[in-house]
Amino acid sequence: MIAWLVAASISAPAAALGTDAIDIATIKCGDLGADEIARLLALELDDVVPQMRTGPPLRIELTCASPILSIAIVDPLTDKRMARDVPLPPDEPGRERVVALAIAQLFAASWLELLLPTPPPEAVVTTEPRPPAKAVEAARSKAAATTRRPERSLSLLAAGVVRGRALERAPLLSGGGELDVRTWFGAGALVVRLGFEGTRVDRELGSVRAWMLALGLGVAGRLRVGDRWTLGVAAVVSGALGRLQGIASRPDVPTGSITAPTGQLCVGLGPRVRLGSSALLELDAELGATLGAPEGLVSGAAPVSLGGLWAGVALRAGFEWTRLGPSTLPRK
């Protein structure tokens, strides 16, 4: 399953159109994020605007008069002005995407007029120039693209973790790394997590090396709090393999090692920020518990174990890609 998700992330498209080609103005729309709408609209129009736009940006005016949102588009390329009234989306995560899709559909509807057959010469009563062939081809491409529905997004994140373990008995510090693959469905996601963690504890008679390899499955959620900021939470249940190995400081001190299966629960909460169109940065405060972990007994000293209650922090960095469904427009 991990291999499939990673392969899907490699094939996901990346946006090439910058938001400088789009100018959005909002009127009485509260905290509706114009910058986020511009970013999402740039993704929707990516296969049209870069092919021909060299002049002024696409001008869009949004007027909010609940329960109506008025959309007006001025396209300098075709000298068209388009307007449409739609229901104002509720103030909840994802409404910028709804507005961006409505603008893209209106833009595509206007460009579809370029695909109408040219009437016979004697019936033509117009002084407007015929659109260039490149514009017609781009309109056809955009008309197909806007009939696709966003299905889900996929994120791949690498993390560094620091944790205080066995807090209820003999606390020790450990560190390691994790790899998260998350498939998002709106504000919720399925999480697959692979992690490795280790530590070394020194005692008077020697030292104990401990490590744990874990593979888990969980869920995640996020709540938008700004144009690029969200508050996220994740809970993951993992199966793991733990190992302890004693290393004596003197030849007369007996040592041993043990490897055993274990399991743990991790819950994390913290801020997330989007950097650019797809890069992500996350910081989580985490709490968890590990059950059945192997334990090392040291004569005259506290035992060593990665089990029990623990707390820590995780810093994650990675990328998220939006995947689109197939077009329903027939091909010529």
Task: Kindly report, residue by residue over 158-182, the tens digit of the pLDDT.
Answer: 999 999 998 888 888 999 999 999 9
Q: Are residues 235 and 210 in the same domain?
A: yes
Q: Are residues 138 and 158 in the same domain?
A: no
Q: Are residues 157 and 53 in the same domain?
A: no
Q: Are residues 83 and 187 in the same domain?
A: no
Q: Are 160 and 315 in contact (CB under 8 A)?
A: yes
Q: Is residue 1 part of a domain?
A: no
Q: Is residue 330 part of a domain?
A: no
Global confidence as pTM: 0.55
Q: Are 13 and 321 in contact (CB under 8 A)?
A: yes
Domain boundary among 114, 131, 146: 146
The yes-or-no verdict on residue 5 having pLDDT over 50 is no
Domain boundary among 146, 181, 215: 146
Q: Is residue 328 part of a domain?
A: no
Q: Are residues 53 and 135 in the same domain?
A: yes
Q: Are residues 160 and 203 in the same domain?
A: yes
Domain total of the chain: 2
List residues bridging with 23 in a β-sheet. 59
| Percent of the chain clearing pLDDT 70 (strictly above) | 72
* 42/105 Cα distance (integer angstroms): 13
Range of the domain at 313: 151-323
Q: Is residue 256 part of a domain?
A: yes
Task: Count the residues in the chain.
Answer: 332
The yes-or-no verdict on residue 311 having pLDDT over 90 is yes
Which of 50-64, 85-99, 112-126, 224-238 is modeled with the greatest confidence? Answer: 224-238
Q: Are residues 188 and 296 in the same domain?
A: yes
Q: Is residue 168 part of a domain?
A: yes
pLDDT per residue as tens digits for the range 15-41: 345 567 788 888 888 888 888 888 888
Domain boundary among 146, 177, 197: 146
User: Residue 271 corresponds to which tokens in the numbers above?
Assistant: 């801020």
| 227-257 exposure pattern, b = at least 16 Cβ within 10 A, e = fewer | ebebebebbbebebebbbbbeeeeeeeeeee
Helix (H, G, I), strand (E, B) or coil at 205: coil
The yes-or-no verdict on residue 4 having pLDDT over 50 is no
Q: Are residues 253 and 111 in the same domain?
A: no
Name the residue type at position 223: L
Q: Are residues 120 and 185 in the same domain?
A: no
Q: Is residue 171 part of a domain?
A: yes
Mean pLDDT of the chain: 78
Q: Is residue 305 part of a domain?
A: yes
* 139/44 Cα distance (integer angstroms): 13
Q: Are residues 124 and 239 in the same domain?
A: no
pLDDT per residue as tens digits for the range 249-283: 677 666 777 888 999 999 999 999 999 888 999 99
Q: What angle is formed at CA 223 by the lines to CA 222 and CA 227, rounded to 5 degrees? A: 115
Supply the CATH number for residue 239's domain: 2.40.160.20
Please state, in angstroms and as integers, the Cα–Cα distance from residue 126 to each residue in 111, 112, 129, 176, following that order. 18, 19, 8, 71
pLDDT per residue as tens digits for the range 37-55: 888 888 877 765 555 455 6
Q: Please provide the DSSP assignment of 75-122 as one string.
A: ETTTTEEEEEEEEPPPSSTTHHHHHHHHHHHHHHHHHHGGGSPPPPGG
Q: Are residues 222 and 107 in the same domain?
A: no
Q: Is residue 332 part of a domain?
A: no
Q: What string of H, E and C letters represents the secondary structure of 255-287?
A: CCEEEEEEEEEEEEEEEEEEECCCEEEEEEEEE
157 vs 301, higher pLDDT: 157
Q: Are residues 224 and 317 in the same domain?
A: yes
